[in-house]
Amino acid sequence: MPELPEVETIRRGLEDRILGKKVRTVEINTDKMVKEPSPKRFKEEVVGKKITQVIRRGKYLILVLSSGKSIVIHLRMTGQLIYGRKDAKSRVAFLLSQDKYLNLKDTRHLGEIRLVENWKKVPSIARIGIEPLENSFTFKVFGKMLNKKKAKIKPLLMNQEFLAGVGNIYAQEALFKARIHPEKQANKLKLEQAKSLFSEIKRVLNRAIDYKGSSLVSYVDADGRGGSFHTRLQVYGRGGEPCVKCKSPLKFIKLGGRGTTFCPKCQK
Ligand SMILES: [Zn+2]
């Protein structure tokens, strides 16, 4: 599933390409992906409007329209948003000014698209926690957040109501870098561990954005190109392989139903 770095990479690509463009037509080929309003009303209300802002919140992409309404997109597992020529496999295709298309593709069609009055009031968005790359996310704030939680640290980091945009890949990578066991109870982290985790979360997300994300399943950027950070992952998907720091075999466990790889020697 695309996480913060992947969605942010798509957002930046789209911002460069679709900002200020007008939607000329909307073709909806998979009605069930349009969660609200009806596909017919969705088309009527989007056609003729300009895209005035491209925003990311957590793993959501928001296209603000000149009417004040917003198109809210969640790519879930296999969603892709690709700018360029018309794609025959589009679930939803927007024809924009200059004869360019914005294609929403999704092999498993689990993604969601909706048109709303106020994107901040979409319930699943309203509940999203703090953005880890914003200046308001300070160590003081993070320390307080951790102290209130008895949950295991890895599923907690992935909880979108706790922290925005971190998923299975980057939670594992940040914990490895900070040398913290994924099952450690959040409020029992030592001060030094919490500080290290705070900086490693920001660092791994920023580095992944620099490499345009990790293309493990189907993620591509707004031009349809894969990212390259997956070649730099140190624990994700490496169960049984040697730890890059101490060479002992990495361990794979299920934690909260999600595959989790860590180094039992380095991570305490
Ligand atoms: Zn190790």
Exactly one of 17, 43, 49, 59 is catalytic; which is it? 59
**pLDDT above 90 for 13:** yes
Distance 51 CA to ligand 1 centre (A): 48
Nearest partner of 190 among 201, 202, 200, 178, judged by Cα: 178
**pLDDT above 90 for 141:** yes
Name the percent of the chain lying above pLDDT 90. 99
User: What tokens appear for 268 in the block?
Assistant: 């305490």
- The residue-averaged pLDDT of 215-232 equals 96
Query: Residue 131 in contact with residue 162, Cβ under 8 Å?
Result: no
Exactly one of 3, 6, 173, 200 is catalytic; which is it? 3
Average pLDDT, the chain: 98
Domain boundary among 126, 153, 184: 126
Is 151 among the domain residues? yes
Instruction: Look at residue 1 in the predicted model and tell me its pLDDT.
Output: 87
Asked if 15 and 112 sit in the same domain, the reply is yes
Q: φ, ψ for residue 120 (rounded to 5)?
A: -70, -15
**pLDDT above 90 for 89:** yes
- Alpha-carbon distance of 16 to 166, in angstroms, equals 24
Asked if 218 and 111 sit in the same domain, the reply is no
Instruction: Show the domain range for 65.
Output: 4-126
**Total structural domains within the chain:** 2
User: What tokens appear for 147 in the block?
Assistant: 């102290």
Distance 181 CA to ligand 1 centre (A): 11
Instruction: Look at residue 171 in the predicted model and tell me its pLDDT.
Output: 98
- CATH number, domain containing residue 166: 1.10.8.50
- The residue-averaged pLDDT of 30-54 equals 98
User: What tokens appear for 158 in the block?
Assistant: 């992935």
Exactly one of 69, 152, 202, 258 is catalytic; which is it? 258
Query: Residue 221 in contact with residue 83, Cβ under 8 Å?
Result: no
Instruction: Look at residue 217 in the predicted model and tell me its pLDDT.
Output: 86
Is 258 in the active site? yes
Exactly one of 2, 5, 132, 182 is catalytic; which is it? 2
Asked if 112 and 143 sit in the same domain, the reply is no
Is 57 among the domain residues? yes
- Alpha-carbon distance of 215 to 253, in angstroms, equals 23
Distance 180 CA to ligand 1 centre (A): 11
Asked if 155 and 213 sit in the same domain, the reply is yes
Asked if 154 and 257 sit in the same domain, the reply is yes
Is 3 in the active site? yes
Distances (CA, A) of 265 to 174, 179, 247, 252, 255: 16, 9, 10, 13, 18
Asked if 201 and 172 sit in the same domain, the reply is yes
- The model's pTM is 0.97
Distance 241 CA to ligand 1 centre (A): 11
Instruction: Look at residue 160 in the predicted model and tell me its pLDDT.
Output: 98
**pLDDT above 90 for 191:** yes
Strand-pairing partners, residue 105, are 80
Distance 255 CA to ligand 1 centre (A): 19
Distances (CA, A) of 100 to 44, 51, 52, 164: 19, 14, 17, 31
- The residue-averaged pLDDT of 102-107 equals 98
Distance 174 CA to ligand 1 centre (A): 14
- The residue-averaged pLDDT of 49-75 equals 98
Chain Cα centroid distance, residue 44 = 29
Instruction: Look at residue 268 in the predicted model and tell me its pLDDT.
Output: 96
Distance 178 CA to ligand 1 centre (A): 12
Q: Which run of H or E residues covers position 232? A: none
Distance 152 CA to ligand 1 centre (A): 20
Is 41 among the domain residues? yes
